[in-house]
């Protein structure tokens, strides 16, 4: 069953963060619209990198894993549970140095698990997270979203598709010196989502 809204934040800023503000507005809107509980995952609080134990454990058959190997996958297991439970996934991502914040990359490394969230078939890789919709709230200081130096939104969209989530909406939260809360363009994008236009 997947009935929740998963809200993932990755900005290092807590105060004045454009992606936090706008994604929170979107999450409230989705929660009212779909009557779903919200799960908050704030990556700025810290997230472990995958390490040798993790990779070894993931390559070991689940039934053959030692206690230490199971423990090495604990965080990954719970992050994947959050994803599986979610019907809507809202990822708030500032562009940092042309890509996603390192904590968001670390989260992706934790949740992209062969045989759990994707698998290889005769026809190539197949994403195993089905029936979900993702919203990418992406902000930059200057890089136009979708331009050839935006490696964040294109990357995130690709990763979502790889995991089986093809229904992806990009909320362009480009800061460009504007205040997030009274940005008419953002209001319009959120209204279009509420009206089901995208
Ligand atoms: C460490 C760091 C790196 C950044 N790198 C870029 C960048 O490469 N390109 C860009 O357009 N903006 C860059 N920015 C600007 C942020 O994307 C922009 O301020 C965004 O609003 C930050 O998201 P937030 O408001 O949610 O914190 C960077 C900001 C920080 C703090």
pLDDT of residue 66: 98
Mind listing the pLDDT tens digit for each residue in 122-180?
999 999 999 999 999 999 998 989 899 999 999 999 999 999 999 999 999 886 555 55
Q: From 22, 27, 33, select the one nearest 182 (Cα to Cα).
A: 22
Indicate the SS3 state at residue 8. Answer: strand
Q: Which ligand 1 atom sits nearest the alpha carbon of residue 13?
A: 27
pLDDT of residue 65: 98
Mind listing the pLDDT tens digit for each residue in 56-107?
999 999 999 999 999 999 999 999 999 999 999 999 999 999 999 999 999 9
pLDDT of residue 174: 82
pLDDT of residue 176: 58
Mind listing the pLDDT tens digit for each residue in 10-46?
999 999 999 999 999 999 999 999 989 999 999 999 9
Assess whether pLDDT exceeds 70 at residue 1.
Answer: no
What six digits make up the tokens of 114?
């062969």
pLDDT of residue 175: 65
Between the CA of 94 and the centroid of ligand 1 the distance, in Å, is 6
Q: Residue 90 in contact with residue 25, Cβ under 8 Å?
A: no
Nearest residue by C-alpha to atom 12 in ligand 1: 141
Q: From 24, 9, 16, select the one nearest 178 (Cα to Cα).
A: 16
Domains of the chain and CATH, by start: 4-194 (3.40.50.360)
Nearest residue by C-alpha to atom 23 in ligand 1: 94
Q: From 136, 172, 179, select the one nearest 155 (Cα to Cα).
A: 136
pLDDT band at 184 (very low <50, low <70, confident <90, very high): confident
pLDDT of residue 182: 55
* Ligand 1: lining residues by beta carbon, under 6 Å: 11, 13, 17-20, 94-98, 139-143, 175
d(CA 35, CA 24): 15
The helix or strand, by DSSP H or E, that contains position 7, with its residue range, turns out to be strand 4-9
Residue-wise over 10-31: b if at least 16 C-beta within 10 A, else e? Answer: bbeeeeebbbbbbbbbbbeebb
d(CA 84, CA 181): 31
DSSP assigned state of 137: E
Q: Residue 176 in contact with residue 124, Cβ under 8 Å?
A: no
Pairing of strands 133-139, 167-172: parallel
Nearest residue by C-alpha to atom 7 in ligand 1: 97
pLDDT band at 3 (very low <50, low <70, confident <90, very high): confident
The helix or strand, by DSSP H or E, that contains position 122, with its residue range, turns out to be none
**Cβ contacts of residue 72 below 8 Å, gap of 6+?**
51, 53, 54, 56, 57
d(CA 152, CA 135): 13
């Amino acid at each position: 069953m997947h009935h929740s809204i998963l809200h993932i934040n990755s900005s290092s800023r807590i105060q004045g963060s454009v992606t936090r503000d706008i994604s929170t507005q979107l999450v409230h809107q989705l929660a009212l619209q779909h009557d779903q509980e919200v799960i908050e995952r704030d990556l700025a609080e810290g997230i472990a990198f995958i390490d040798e134990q993790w990779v070894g454990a993931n390559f070991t058959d689940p039934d053959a894993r030692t206690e230490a190997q199971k423990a090495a996958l604990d965080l990954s297991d719970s992050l994947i549970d959050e994803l599986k439970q979610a019907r809507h996934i809202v990822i708030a991502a500032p562009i940092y140095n042309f890509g996603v914040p390192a904590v968001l990359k670390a989260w992706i490394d934790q949740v992209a698990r062969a045989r759990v969230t994707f698998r290889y078939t005769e026809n190539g890789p197949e994403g195993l997270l089905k029936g979900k919709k993702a919203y990418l709230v992406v902000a930059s200081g200057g890089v136009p979203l979708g331009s050839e130096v935006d490696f964040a939104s294109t990357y995130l969209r690709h990763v979502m598709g790889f995991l089986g989530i093809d229904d992806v909406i990009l909320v362009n939260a480009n800061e460009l010196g504007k205040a997030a809360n009274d940005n008419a363009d953002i209001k319009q994008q959120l209204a279009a989502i509420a009206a089901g236009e995208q």
